[in-house]
Amino acid sequence: MNDVALADLPETARDLADLIGLPATLRLVRQLGGTSFPVAKGRTRMGVARFELLAEVVGEEAAEIITRHYGGEVLYVPRCHAALQRSRDRAIHARFDASIRSGASANQTVAELAREHQLSDRRVWDILKAIPPTVDQPALF
């Protein structure tokens, strides 16, 4: 899921990616996506605890950057569901194609993909039947 297209992300996530990088942003989205996070300035005991939580998710350097930029504000961390789903679907298509080219069974590959992505095999087949999403396709938000 590391091939999430920056253009697919909502504006808030793109802003965060500009500040702290895409990998740290994706960790933040996976851990806190869909929540409002009060970014403390780190001056009180509660502020220090919030900073430590943030640092645990994104790393200390990224937490410091977020605190400098958003300190005292409530930051809504978007879920980025559509972008993550498109990335997952691209990964499923790529892995299926590579497995088939190497001579693996389609049914076995689908079963593995279903377990890996915690999907039903029927859902994996549906994803494979759809036109594979490309990085340059516009996001449907």
Q: Give this prediction's pTM.
A: 0.77
Displacement of CA 20 from its chain's centroid (Å): 14
Alpha-carbon distance of 29 to 79, in angstroms, equals 6
Residue partners of 31: CB distance under 8 A and separation at least 6: 57
Domain ranges of the chain: 6-79, 82-129
pLDDT digits (tens, 9 = 90+) for 16-41: 999 999 999 999 999 999 999 999 98
3-state percent helix, strand, coil for the chain, nearest multiple of 5: 65, 5, 30
Give the tens place of pLDDT for each residue, 67-76. 999 999 999 9
CB neighbour class for 118 (10 Å; exposed up to 12, middle 13-18, buried from 19): exposed
